[in-house]
Structure 1
Amino acid sequence: MKWDWSAVADFMPDFWKGVLVTLQALVLGALIAFALGLVWALAQRSKFAAVRWPVTAITEFIRNTPLLVQLFFLFYVLPEWHVTLSPLATGVVGLGLHYSTYTAEVYRAGIDGVPVGQWEAATALSLPKTRTWTAVILPQAIRRVVPALGNYVISMLKDSPLIATIGVLEMLGQARQFGSRTFQLTEPYTVIGIAFIVIAYIASLSLRSLERRLVR
């Protein structure tokens, strides 16, 4: 088997389209996961059982269900209930919703790790509850959990090829389409494999830089 550089050149236009879609799914999915995960974490700390128990049940159900099944449900079942999303939007929502249940546990651990003295100091200063959370607790909790959140960004990147199963032409989808059209598989799959490594490495460096900045 010979390596064909002309096949690589022919694949490049499709590859860059796939990279753009992959990055869109990753960034938007991560934003949903981080924001919704914080909502889940705070809801699970609610003093109202009517809030706490349903949220716990929902997050446990999502966490223990395969992401692929969730993507199929969002893409094929929701339209039966007159909720229709584009393939990319479905992939973004699926990734974000799935990983929000994991980031919720990360946030919970970070909040629990804030020293009790910080809560007591906020109470002694008569800070409003909202101010206590936004100015005292959450800044310390989030600073502690940035490395763990970064790990989930990498995991989300590695799971992003699953959205190709619902018709999203991200990097894997573009490679499969190119291979079925030209019968050249080695070159496109090798290129996207290298691309995943490069993107993951850049993301890791960025998260480490953010972590160091937050520590300072």
Structure 2
Amino acid sequence: MVNKISLSQFFNFSVKVHTSAKINAVRRMKTEDYSVGRDYYRDLRMAIHRYTQNQASLDSIMEVALQSKEDRRANFVKKATKFINFMNKHEVEFFDAGNATWSYKGLININASPEYGMFCDGQKYFVKNFYRKKDSKDKITLAKVRPTLTLMRTAKSQVDLKDATAAILNLQNGRLLFDDKPVDDSKLLELRADAAQLADIWDMI
């Protein structure tokens, strides 16, 4: 049986340091079916999506954040602010990055679709946003996100992205993380090791 997960779920698993945290991440993947109510960032994510589709303004993203539920508002405003500040600091034009998938030995199938494509200051990227709250145990660095970037770069895509760079926009600090050096055996090994561990834990739970 192929286990289907999202790019966000793989990312959240991959950046975990401790085995217990990785186990808990897989347990949530396996036991929690998707629902709108459980999708914490859905409203903010959809507001950003509309903006990247040229269907809304940056101001509308902040409006959604300010109108969110009280227990989410402060966090949403922080994420919206980081996104808006990034866009205001750079010359950005969006393009359709299409859908993509990545599989590991028939055990895991990952929806690897980018959230959007963008030309940023003349450079071409396909981007995944990272929304999660800051956690000192899971500090987001290029080394930690590299397996996810490698996954994005090697996924089967409906769109030719060979001239674009995979990137993660970290909304904890508004920084764009990317690796524009070639995918080598070491990077592929990192990715496959994470995928293999995820598959093993899934079978054990």
TM-score class normalised by the smaller sequence: under 0.3
Relative to the length of structure 2, the TM-score reads 0.27
Greater C-alpha radius of gyration: 1
Counting helix residues as a fraction of each chain, which structure ranks higher?
1
Relative to the length of structure 1, the TM-score reads 0.26
**Larger RCO (alpha carbons 8 Å, 6+ apart):** 1
Counting strand residues as a fraction of each chain, which structure ranks higher?
2
